[in-house]
Every structure is written in C-alpha cells, then in structure tokens.
Amino acid sequence: MGNRCAVIGVGQTHYTTKRRDVSMAGLVREAALRALEDAELTFRDIDAVVIGKAPDLFEGVMMPEAYLADALGAAGKPVTRVHTAGSVGGSTALVGASLIQGGVHDRVLVVAYEKQSESNATWALSTHLPFTASLVVGAGGYFAPHIREYVRRSGAPAHIGALVAVKDRRNALKNPYAHLRIPGIDRAMVESTPMLWEPIRYLETCPSSDGACALVLASERAATGRPAWVHGTAMRSEPIFRAGRDTVNPRAGQDCAADVYRQAGITDPRREIDVAEVYVPFSWYEPMWLENLGFADLTEGWKLTESGATALDGDIPWNASGGVLSSNPIGASGLIRFAEAALQVRGLAGEHQVAGARTALGHAYGGGAQFFAMWIVGADKP
C-alpha cells in the first residue's frame, strides 16, 4: 500500500438545489478553503491538486480543471483531473492518496464538485446517440430494473426502500451540510409519493444538488492535528456489456471490497467497521450494497435494514450523514462519503457522530454500477 497517508483537513459547502450566489470557481474555493482551514494550512503549503467531477456535459464546461486550477491555488503545481462517473469523488480521493502513498508529495488538496443547477443531469445522461435505441431515461430509468431483480431474488418486502429513505433523511436532519431536510418524514410520507421508475418512488431517489467537498491529505511526516489514517484503498471497474454480468451484485464491487478489506485487515466488515458511508442514490441500494460489500449474506441485506442495524443507533450505522439520498452534487457525492468516513474516525462528525467510531468505510460507485472506489480510514495509524 506504500507510505502512510492521513486526512488532515475536510471542507464542505452547504448542499442545496441552486447555489446562485457563487460561480463554479467560488464553489470549489469555498470547500477548499474550509479544508485548508481545518488543516491549518494555506494554498502555499499544498504540493499538488487533484480535481474530480462527473461528466463535463453536466455544466457544459469542457476540461474544467484548466479553468479551476488557479482558483485552487495550483499555479505552478501539478493538477490532475479524475473522472469515473458517479464514483469520481471516491476515485479522486484515491488518486490524491496514491500521490502521498507513492512518496511523490507530502500534502495534496483533493476537490470534487458539481453545480447541477447549471443544466439538467437527466438530459446530460440521456443524449441518445444515433443508430441506437436505448430507452433508458436518466439514472433512475437505468437502475430501476436492477432493483426489481434484487427484490425478486431476495424476496424483500416492498417497504424496505421506504425504510432507507426515512432513515437517511432523519440522519440528514443532524447534518448541517445536508441538502434535503424533511422534518417529520416517515414511511407513509415516502409511500405517498409517486412511482417515477417503478419500483422507485420519488422520495426514494436522491436530490439534485450544487456543492463541493475537499480534503487535505498528508504524508506521515506532514500529518498534524487529529488525522484519519488511510488503512486501505481500492478501485475496480468492469465492462458494462460483459455476458453474464450480475448487475444486482456486481463482481467489481465484490472484488473492490475484498481488496480494501484485505489491506485493512478486515475479515468481518459488519463487526470490524464502526460506520460506513456508502453510495446509496436510490434507497434500495442499501440492502443491495449490504450484500455486495459483505455486511450481509446474499438475499439477507434487507433484513439488516429492517432490523434497524444500519440506523444511527444500530450496530453498523450506514450513512450517518444522510448519504447521497440527502445530498447529491454528483461529482462530489463520492468524496463526501470518503470525507464523512474521515470525520467519523476523527470524532468531528458533530451531531451525527457515531460514538467511539475508530474504523470507517467510504464507498462510491458509478456508471452502470461498473466503477467502484473504496477506502477504509481509522483513528489509529495502520
């Protein structure tokens, strides 16, 4: 895994539908400056900057890294752009971490963002090239059939998705940065909202957000304050058109989890991980990923959700921050998972802190569930 790497600064913007008061440069600076403040550093102390975001078509700014480099204090420094669809926030953190682990740099600023309000993601994801006749409309249209297949295989009762939607939004009420804040949300409210892409209801989907997230990563000798130590990092992808590809339980996700657990010495994730921030953009993906990530046996994930194990007061809280279901600046959504995992083991998660969290998982996925990025962070040095 290389040299030790620590998270010494975390910065987030308040996620919301439209940040009409800032430019894209202003938005990323807001997160970056908060992360630097947390690390008690300035742009001058940073060796390299890694920028991540989802497709350029979302804002129509091509190669935004070229535009944003000087806004992030990167003049004269290496700048890298990462893009792995929805998992990009996670991959961006991992590219930044690799620069530390490889001994190239001592302090790396990692920033990911999306300003979804500048256009419409469903439009950008449904461009309908000539000669094909794909009938997929947006991310929900793509993922709904795989959720249906999960429900069939697992025999999960229909209300499980609503339970996740309620749990994550209740957690969001404890997170000052969260976008969706729905006081009094309950199962009846979720179940009263219309089916958009059956079996996905309106309140079982993530919002569309503007926002940015930033991390300052440091080598062991540059680590200061109360760091979160990186115990494992892994990325995997798989071809979307592979024959026999299991879209419910993707092999790339299983392999990625196995790799990151091996590095961190984890053999029983449910027992050994204290809190997980997992990319759940549609509520049913919680039970699906509980199985894919080895927290539950196949077809048993929904039972964990139903039992309350993944709630903030459960034995393995998932998405204490409110998760992607509550805040979704797409390009940043993965990095927020990684950042929240770091905040938990630093004991700095505020009202949604899981008491005594020492080991946390950050997870992101993207594309047609074909890109995965994960890290394990801990309060102790690996």
Chain residues that interact with other proteins, rule: CB under 8 A: 20-21, 60, 128-138, 141, 144-146, 148-149, 152-153, 194-198, 200, 239-244
Q: How far is the CB of 296 from other proteins (least distance, A)?
A: 17
- Inter-residue contact 295 to 304 (CB < 8 Å): yes
Least distance (Å) between residue 21 CB and other proteins: 8
Task: Show the CA angle centred on residue 286, arms to residues 283 and 289, nearest 5°.
Answer: 135
How far is Cα 161 from Cα 285, in angstroms, rounded to an integer?
A: 8
Q: How far is the CB of 146 from other proteins (least distance, A)?
A: 7
Around Cβ 62, how many Cβ atoms within 10 Å? Answer: 9
Between CA 54 and CA 51 the distance in angstroms is 11
CB of 202 to other proteins, least distance (A): 10
Q: How far is the CB of 242 from other proteins (least distance, A)?
A: 5
Of the pair 14, 153, the CB lying nearest other proteins is at 153
Q: Which is nearer to other proteins, 129 or 355 (CB)?
A: 129
Residue with Cβ nearer other proteins (199 or 347): 199
Q: Determine the Cα–Cα distance for residues 240 and 8; give it in Å rounded to an integer.
A: 36
Q: CB-based contacts of 54: which residues, under 8 Å, 6+ apart? A: 83, 85, 86, 88, 114, 121, 330, 331, 366
Task: Give the residue with the Cβ less far from other proteins, 76 or 131.
Answer: 131
Closest by CA position to 381, among listed 5, 79, 1: 5
Radius of gyration of the chain (CA): 19
- Specify the residue, 138 or 347, whose C-beta has the smaller distance to other proteins: 138
132 or 380, CB closer to other proteins?
132
Cα→Cα distances 307→170, 172, 284, Å = 16, 20, 15
Identity of the residue, 141 or 225, whose beta carbon is nearer to other proteins in the bound complex? 141
Strand partners, 233: 375
Provide the 10 A C-beta neighbour count for residue 87: 32
Q: How far is the CB of 160 from other proteins (least distance, A)?
A: 17
Contact (CB, 8 A) for 114 and 54: yes
The CB-of-339 to other proteins minimum distance in angstroms stands at 29
- Of the candidates 333, 337, 116, 335, which has an alpha carbon nearest to the alpha carbon of residue 208? 116
Shortest distance, CB of residue 117 to other proteins, whole angstroms?
10
3-state class of 165 per DSSP?
Answer: helix
Query: Strand, helix or coil at 264?
Result: helix
Q: How far is the CB of 132 from other proteins (least distance, A)?
A: 7
Cβ distance to other proteins smaller for residue 135 or 355: 135
Q: How far apart are CA 175 and CA 183, in angstroms?
A: 13
**183 versus 239: smaller Cβ distance to other proteins:** 239
Cβ of residue 179: shortest distance to other proteins, in angstroms?
20
Closest CA to 314 of 277, 275, 343: 275
Whether the CB-CB separation of 113 and 83 falls below 8 Å is answered with no
Nearer Cβ to other proteins (224/247): 247
